[in-house]
Amino acid sequence: MTPTQSPAAPAQPPQRQLNSEQINRYKRHLILPEVGMDGQKKLLNARVLCIGAGGLGCPISLYLAAAGVGTIGLADVDVVSPSNLQRQVLFGLKDVGEDKVKAAARRLKDLNPDCNVIEHKTVVNSQNVLELIKDYDVVIDGTDNFPTRYCVGDACVIAKKPNVYGSIFRFEGQVTVFAPHLKNPDTGERGPCYRCMFPEPPDPGSVPSCAEGGVIGVLPGIIGTLQANEVIKLILGIGKPAIGKLTYFSALDLEFRQFKVRRDPSCPVCGDHPTITAPIDYEQFCGVPILDPASLAETAEEVQRAKSNGHPGASTASAEPGRAGPIGAARPGSAPPANTAPPRPNLDDKGLPPGYQFKPDWETTPREVKAMLDKGEKFVFIDCRLPNEHQITHIEGAQLIPLQQLAQRMGELRGKEAEKIVVHCKSGARSLQFTQALRQQGFKNIKSMAGGILLWNKDINPGGPQY
């Protein structure tokens, strides 16, 4: 199936009566007057589309399937990777390397055979979004990038579908329901859309993703179950849907805060005189691609490593059984056992990724640094990452001076202006900033290690942690 083709949600025969097995399965619902037989039948007849089968999509779809939602569409193009398992509770080790939508469908069908799971292994974009959402009653935004959020947000306004929105970052999350075709239950006004709240996308690169900034594993569980709760309320028509109300959650403070969000009458999509009446080019609008090439490469590498470590489910013809080991367990500086050697990375003759724009005046390669260390050459070696990153993996002999502390710790480097200095970080961006800052301070002989410790751990210390 090509990314633009995807099965539409087939019309399920409407559930008119519950059989005795279903009555037993759903009896905790049936005794709630707010649900009852009629409500349970509404759930069984409901069609819900979850965009993203990641951190949010996992708890959302698990709870909706368990609740008896009859049709759940899942749209995701990714495969399961080992670093997903910290929070993506639908999946296990045996699923590593498999399409998320396929692994999810199997788990959800096992949880509840009443649930018809529709797999949309596709990138959601302006070409397919309207076709994708048209047969669903409720759309859930569980995505992690701005182009898809705007795309889903606009399409839901155009197609008059409620958009149950959640987002997460580090220890904080947000939940609301965007539905300009429905009323805010408190004010009676029409609700806002995603663009009313975020009229403009952030500058490209200004907002780090969860992959860059991290996320505490339970957070998507908390935010995702709140989204699932909103979906169930919308289907049943009970309670007050969170239309016009944004709930912010802080995991560190166990604090929920609520904000009113109002529809903007001049909004280009849901305003009184809309100018956007069909999906636009969201990658151009946001200035970033829907699929981040770096994160795709990371997933492919993780899966490849899991395969070469002989993980169940991720095993290949070349992987022998019975040598499963924890992923990323190789200690910094230590070579991995010979039989779990990772595949040779694809690097050029300098040891750099193909196409890398090497700046010889500013950068040195991991291979050159290794040669200097092997020769016992005297130079100042600095790791400018954060202490927690240093604990994950580090190069023996590198002194930790986080970029953020450079101004305060300048004294430690004074007097070394003429000495040879090499600085490294995770992937080479921060160390270049560090290098620029020190050159402005009169340090003449400083260079940044291209590709950072991630490249080091591919080329010099293969099997060393990638994070």
The site for Zn ion (CB under 5 A) is made up of: 193, 195-196, 267, 270
Half-sphere exposure of 85 (CA within 13 A, CB side): 15
Nearer to Zn ion, 69 or 267 (CB): 267
CB of 269 to Zn ion, least distance (A): 5
Nearer to Zn ion, 273 or 375 (CB): 273
Nearer to Zn ion, 62 or 152 (CB): 152
CB of 270 to Zn ion, least distance (A): 3
Instruction: Please give the Cα distance from 212 to 462 (Å, whole number).
Output: 22
CB of 16 to Zn ion, least distance (A): 38
Specify whether the CB–CB gap between 215 and 164 falls below 8 A.
no
Specify whether the CB–CB gap between 241 and 233 falls below 8 A.
yes
Instruction: Please give the Cα distance from 139 to 161 (Å, whole number).
Output: 7
CB of 192 to Zn ion, least distance (A): 6
- Please provide the DSSP assignment of 235-268 as one string: HHT-S---BTEEEEEETTTTEEEEEE----TT-T
Nearer to Zn ion, 65 or 196 (CB): 196
**Angle, helix 219-236 to helix 36-45, in steps of 10 degrees:** 110
**Where do the DSSP E strands lie in 365-420?**
380-383, 399-400
Nearer to Zn ion, 262 or 439 (CB): 262
Of 291, 269, 451, 297, the closest CA to residue 359 belongs to 451
Nearer to Zn ion, 275 or 346 (CB): 275
- The letter for the amino acid at 179 is A
Closest residue to bound Zn ion by CB: 267
Nearer to Zn ion, 111 or 130 (CB): 130
Nearer to Zn ion, 53 or 193 (CB): 193
Which residue carries 């691609």 as its tokens?
289
Nearer to Zn ion, 193 or 242 (CB): 193
Specify whether the CB–CB gap between 438 and 411 falls below 8 A.
no
CB of 11 to Zn ion, least distance (A): 31
Nearer to Zn ion, 100 or 195 (CB): 195
Provide the β-strand partners of residue 117: 72
CB of 143 to Zn ion, least distance (A): 18
**Angle, helix 452-459 to helix 366-375, in steps of 10 degrees:** 70
How far, in Å, are 69, 181, 205, 450 from residue 166 at the CA level? Answer: 19, 19, 21, 37
Instruction: Give the gyration radius of the chain's Cα atoms.
Output: 25
Instruction: Please give the Cα distance from 105 to 22 (Å, whole number).
Output: 20
CB of 176 to Zn ion, least distance (A): 13
| Enclosing H/E stretch for 64 | helix 57-67
Nearer to Zn ion, 177 or 270 (CB): 270
CB of 134 to Zn ion, least distance (A): 20
| Enclosing H/E stretch for 448 | strand 446-449
CB of 446 to Zn ion, least distance (A): 50
CB of 153 to Zn ion, least distance (A): 8
**Where do the DSSP E strands lie in 29-181?**
47-51, 71-75, 116-120, 138-141, 163-169, 172-178
Specify whether the CB–CB gap between 153 and 163 falls below 8 A.
yes
CB of 286 to Zn ion, least distance (A): 17
